[in-house]
Amino acid sequence: MTTATVRTEQVSIDLGERSYPILIGSGLLDQAATWAQLPKAAAALIVTNDTVAPLYAAQLAKALGAHYAAVHTVVLPDGEVHKDWSTLNLIFDALLQKGCDRKTVLFALGGGVVGDMTGFAAASYMRGVPFVQVPTTLLAQVDSSVGGKTAINHPLGKNMIGAFYQPHQVVCDLGSLKTLPRRELSAGLAEVIKYGPIADMAFLDWIEANLDAMLAGDVAALAYAVKRSCEIKAWVVAQDEREGGLRAILNFGHTFGHAVESGMGYGAWLHGEGVGCGMVMAATLSQRLGLIDGKLVARLMRLIHHAGLPVQGPLLSDIDNAGRYLELMRVDKKAEAGEIRFVVIDGPGKAAMRSAPDALVREVIDACCVSV
């Protein structure tokens, strides 16, 4: 990753009294201005994992030491497979053992799993304490840290147990991306790519032109990708905080992708990898519904492949693969009365929620999955 610095940018989430800033820049963990508006409290708890803790926990603890009399840290096991009740309880154990009160501030230092679990713990502990997102992966910076979705997984469905609970602020230090493995960087690019076909075709053009730069760790390119992604998500969340309608479009590719993650076993595929092939499936469904042409599908497939992401879904069953996908997708949060609802591309740069006959969905899955 390049060592150049970029100007700190701010994107605001407009939610009335619960509005908050997203700070995007280099070296933010060490800048006093980053932490100038923290909630007042006697103690803070940093929630991180055993991969991120050796890299950034001491740095964050030092920065927070100027604001809190006590700064505690709890280190969780890393990985999607640990996004469950037992790991969540490690956070509650730390809060209770340290005598933390209802003003204690939680800091989520890590990727999407840490962010989701920290937010859920903050929403639940003493019926709600403040928390701050400090995402250290590209995927978390462009998507999961923004908008207040918190959750843990259940063996029967991803992110099925959780709450909407907004952070006090989000701090995206681009410097943390320099330690990100290539596979994780590619996974994050899936959540960047999704914004183009559903909301901003000019951004899709930009992603195509700058994908190699992002893959090479160019900090200026990554800064713009994070900023524009956050702007689009902030605009959507401000209109539909609790996913009553519009916000569901941000799940483009996720209905198929979540089925992949759940069906393969949490952690076998990264979230962004599931979303990558999920977007190909969703675009193919959009084409077969007559909403877009094959050129856009092929364009997305090339871009997703170039980003280092899978463009074919895995086999989840040797007997009835499409049936297994359908079974898992019926548990999706967007399903209504057992009817699966998909985010489709309703023309370039637009998205909509649609149902589709099982027979058509089966055709799409068969066409988009690795053959036996």
Structure confidence at residue 2 (pLDDT): 52
Question: What per-residue confidence (pLDDT) applies to 4?
Answer: 64
DSSP state letters, 118-149? HHHHHHHGGG---EEEEE-SHHIIIIITSS-E
pLDDT higher than threshold 80 for residue 3 = no
Kindly report the number of other CB atoms within 10 A of residue 264's CB atom.
16
User: How far is CA 113 from each of CA 49, 173, 194, 234, rounded to the nearest angstrom?
Assistant: 9, 18, 20, 20
Residue 245 has a pLDDT of 87
CA pseudo-torsion sign 132, 136, 138, 140: negative
Q: Where are the alpha helices (DSSP H) in the chain?
A: 58-64, 85-97, 112-124, 138-139, 182-193, 195-199, 201-215, 219-239, 254-264, 271-288, 294-306, 321-329, 358-368
Instruction: Supply the CATH classification number for the domain 9-179.
Output: 3.40.50.1970
pLDDT tier at 63 (50, 70, 90 boundaries)? very high
How much is the mean pLDDT over the chain? 95
Residue-level pLDDT at 372: 39
Out of 3-7, 226-230, 299-303, pick the least confident.
3-7
Fold match between domain 9-179 and domain 183-368: no
Q: Could you tell me the residue ranges of all domains in the chain?
A: 9-179, 183-368
Quick one: 183-368 is in which CATH superfamily?
A: Dehydroquinate synthase-like - alpha domain (1.20.1090.10)
Tens-digit pLDDT profile for residues 250-309: 999 999 999 999 999 999 999 999 999 999 999 999 999 999 999 999 999 999 999 999
Query: So which residues are the catalytic ones?
Result: 127, 149, 191, 233, 243, 247, 251, 254, 258, 271
